[in-house]
Chain A
């Protein structure tokens, strides 16, 4: 994955030297052309695992969009809870088993959970496999678990596999 990005940068620099335009726009044009060449040669990179690297960038961008949507929805949910005349919340802490393997993926998931209002990661277990999450309102913890999995964990898996 990373070396495709390096090749792309290298192609952009070659383009700059060929055209003699050492500007940001020259670099950008070279980068786009290099991206096209890499896209045509994407079957080359099958053996190294992963395929074309820009699909991963696109998936990360999709994760960002999902996060923004969730942020808005959860903010309005918390607003509704706060402004309601009677406070009918059921706060609590529940376990969330995750299957993400690396520490930085678990950190990314935790930050996404924490930044969406109403849920907050309290602690991570020693082997990075269990998150303890505090929720402002959890009448049904399994629904919340499924919500987190569908929105964040599956997207992170997709983007980083």
Chain B
């Protein structure tokens, strides 16, 4: 990511990448929630989200991205691991083996009857870890001039 050395005008790339960024993010969220009954899940959703962030890195530069999204990706990785660990540990309080998942039907306001499953929380942990690790790798490589 070189600074102040732009000789060309990237207006087409930037306009296109902003529009495409939102489409990729909504697609990655769809992949994340699709993991239970159809192909998808936390891992591929996280990779897709980090791909959208990498697209912004390509169109702009790392300083702009850190201004727009002031996220510490190492903390994100830690948070994801903690969520996954807590999901595994909660079953110990109910005299069940480690990583036993609970699920049930709940009548939510506005959404009607939905089945909730604790596997989605574990998947959220995976999702955050994948984004954190990918972005940490790419930023570390990109900023070591």
Contacts and interface: CB of A to CB of B under 8 A. Distances in A.
Interface of A: 103-104, 106-108, 110-111, 121, 123-126, 128
A123 B15 contact: no
A104 B16 CA distance: 8
Contact of B15 (A103, A121, A125, A126): A103
Nearest to A124: B9
Size bracket, chain B contacts? under 10
A104 B12 CA distance: 8
Interface in B1-30: 8-9, 11-12, 14-16
A15 B14 CA distance: 39
Nearest to A125: B9
B12 A128 contact: no
Nearest to B14: A103
25 contacts: A103-B11, A103-B14, A103-B15, A104-B15, A106-B11, A106-B12, A107-B11, A107-B12, A107-B15, A107-B16, A108-B15, A110-B12, A111-B12, A111-B16, A121-B12, A123-B8, A123-B9, A124-B8, A124-B9, A124-B11, A124-B12, A125-B9, A126-B9, A128-B9, A128-B11
